[in-house]
Amino acid sequence: MVRSYLIMSGSGAMLVLTKMSQGMQSDVARDTMLKKGIRKYIAFEVPPARAKERYGARFEAVSSTITQENDIRVMDVDGHHVFANFEFREMGEPAFVGEGDRISK
């Protein structure tokens, strides 16, 4: 099952897709985001049905490239566009994630 997240980082907002069941606070997610150069972020889960509705064929194309559970695919890096596509009421509780805030060692 594909999950979608609105991510706020130092460079702005983006929309990402993943199949991670643990969510964006897991150590695997942190490590994956770190490999993308993102050390600190706030993640809000947004309904994948809404993302699919608003991004259409692009959602299908990006989600079809997720082959492993720990993959995170960036779908939209235009912060203004991401915020225009989702209302605050559609966003889940924020997950505050920092490189030093490990769940387990």
- The predicted-structure confidence for 8-56, as pLDDT tens digits, reads as follows 999 899 999 999 988 899 989 999 999 989 999 999 999 999 999 999 9
Q: Rounded CA gap, 32 and 43, in Å?
A: 14
The answer to whether the CB of 26 falls within 8 A of the CB of 20 is: yes
The pair of three-digit structure tokens given for residue 20, joined into one six-digit string: 């991670």
Q: Rounded CA gap, 67 and 18, in Å?
A: 10
Output the pTM of the full model: 0.90
Judged against a pLDDT cut of 80, whether residue 102 lies above it is answered with no
* Average pLDDT of the residues of the chain: 91
